[in-house]
Amino acid sequence: MIRILTLTAAMAASAMPALAQSAADRAAMISAIEAAGCRVTASNNSAVLSSAGLSQDAAAAVVQSLLNAGQAVTEGGDLVLKTGACS
């Protein structure tokens, strides 16, 4: 299973356009990351993805859009949310 952090790193490093996403997917992912303490790590990424209820592709699209908008950053291999309750 491809992990969200792996997807994040690969997508952040690529020049490919962000995948389409829905507002509901975005809200679900943000809520799941907030519930995880605003940080997705190697140890909690499966739980965050499960909590969001998204496919890996949908989660990757949301993560890419958050990174592109400056609403999330990567720090030491973790994804850190910088919006909503995490700002």
* 54 closest CA partner among 36, 71, 31: 31
Residue 11, pLDDT score: 44
Output the six-digit token pair for 4.
Answer: 């969200």
* Number of domains observed in the structure of the chain: 1
Q: Enumerate residues 6+ apart whose C-beta is below 8 A from 73.
A: 67, 79, 80, 82
What is the tens place of the pLDDT at every residue in 39-74? Answer: 999 999 999 999 999 999 999 999 999 999 999 999
* Residues paired with 20 in a beta bridge: none
pTM score, two decimals?
Answer: 0.78
Residue range of the domain that includes 59: 4-13+21-86
